[in-house]
Amino acid sequence: MASSSGKRFMKLAGMTASIAGKAAKNSFKHFSSDEEKRAEARSDMLKDVGLQIADTLGEMKGAVMKVGQIASQYKDVFPPEVAQALEKLQKDAPAMPYAQIKQQVERELGIPIEQAYAQFEQQPFAAASIGQVHKAVLPSGQKVVVKVQYPDVDKNCDSDLKQVRMALKMTGVLSMSRELQDQIFDEIRDSLKDELDYVKEAQNLAVFGAFHANDAGLIIPKVIKSHSSRRILTLTEEMGETLSVAATWDNSIKQKIATQLFNFSAGQIFELYRIHCDPHPGNFAFRPDGSVVAYDFGGIRSYSDAEVQIFKRFMRHALKADVTALEQDLVTLGIRRSDEVTIPGDFYQQWLEICLKPFSIAPYHSGDFDFGNSQLHHEVMAQAKTALKYFKQFQPSPTTMMLDRTVSGQYWNLVNLGVSIDLSPLVTKYLDE
């Protein structure tokens, strides 16, 4: 990791200047080419740029890498070439040396690490962009896990985000108004700053723990307040298997897991009006009885009652294939541009036929949906290519950005779990309440 803010700035500024040069060169070189060749050249340039951004951000722990991870999940905000390249940032980051972790723990807790913990494993069992997690034992003998934030991550947050935005802007990948850019990056910055505040995460853990207290099979770790601070979070040890291990279990167990994951997200959005919006598989652990342990409550998005009612209305209109009402919902949500261009009902109907299949709602699909063999993502890409002429009539919405991230993340969790399940009773349950 760069040792100072100045070095980080220079590294990011160098990346930005290089990307700007590539974008300008591509534009000049293919200025007189036909539209198809320009599109092909731009796609190649974006692949190169995406890899350059991913490589640069991957070398730098902290906020800038987290920005890259968040960006990779917003495929409606960034070109697919860039988002795909950034997906490599979702993998575990290299661990930080124990000496720095020890120093950070002692600085935050104000006592020697040997006094705070009877045991503290030097090798982390998880390392991510803004911190890493170590197993430990309290003096009382209680087993815990300790989440330690990397030093100075929060200090570089704003400058890191500004540089990444500038790089993307110079590439021309942010084809939206300045106002919408501001709204989207404000959303990303707020989410990032929330994740950097472990005091706020401790509060989130208490709220969500209470909300799910009676949900058998959903386990949320408890905070050990005496050993927690803004940059250190000590939690009760709640272990389970990885998603790849759970994928080998019987389908009956996988159905219980899928139900827990559905209730986890749907219950929060429709009943709590707050949602855990980072359903990365590493933020869950699974047990052979079908129960699910949920981690990492830093990225939380709250919604108003009016927003939640719009979400419900949108789903009801989608299930009824009422495309006229559906389009008005999209305008209300800020997704459909409210201009004079008319979009035929068939456009919406084709998307509904694809996107509603996993919910096992007739006539789109009936019975169990086989997520393990799902072709939904391929169908979406194919449909997108045939509907390009209407895509300028839509734009990312700050209101739905985190919700989109959650829904797509949970879809991929079920795909990787390889479960076959009928979700229609759960859909009906939440929309009828």
Contact indicator for 102, 148 with CB cutoff of 8 Å: no
Q: Which of the residue ranges 42-46, 127-131, 166-170, 364-368 has the most confident prediction, judged by mean pLDDT?
A: 364-368
Delineate the domains of the chain, giving CATH numbers in brackets: 5-90+157-176 (no CATH), 97-149+197-238 (3.30.200.20), 242-433 (no CATH)
For the chain, what is the mean pLDDT?
85
Assess whether 278 carries a catalytic annotation.
yes
Is the preceding peptide bond at 398 cis, omega within 30 degrees of 0? no
Q: Which of the residue ranges 70-74, 91-95, 340-344 has the most confident prediction, judged by mean pLDDT?
A: 340-344
Find, among 59, 135, 122, 129, the residue nearest to 91 by Cα. Answer: 129
Cα–Cα distance for residue pair 80/381, rounded to 1 Å: 10
Angle at 42 between CA 38 and CA 46, to 5 degrees: 175
> pLDDT-derived band of residue 1, with 50, 70 and 90 as boundaries?
very low
* Encoded tokens for 127: 């390392």
Q: Is 0.85 topped by the overall pTM?
A: no
Contact indicator for 310, 368 with CB cutoff of 8 Å: no
Marked catalytic residue, from 278, 296, 329, 404: 278
Q: Which of the residue ranges 113-117, 298-302, 316-320 has the most confident prediction, judged by mean pLDDT?
A: 113-117
Angle at 412 between CA 410 and CA 413, to 5 degrees: 60
Find, among 233, 232, 211, the residue nearest to 220 by Cα. Answer: 211
pLDDT at 394 over 90: no
User: What are the CA-CA distances from residue 386 to residues 35, 47, 247 (Å)?
Assistant: 16, 22, 34
Task: Please give the residue that has the higher pLDDT: either 364 or 79.
Answer: 364
Q: Which residue has the tokens 């359903």?
A: 279
Q: What is the pLDDT of residue 295?
A: 92
User: How does pLDDT run across 97-143, given as a tens digit for each residue?
Assistant: 899 999 999 999 999 999 999 999 999 988 777 889 999 999 999 99
User: What are the CA-CA distances from residue 328 to residues 59, 155, 180, 318 (Å)?
Assistant: 44, 42, 20, 12
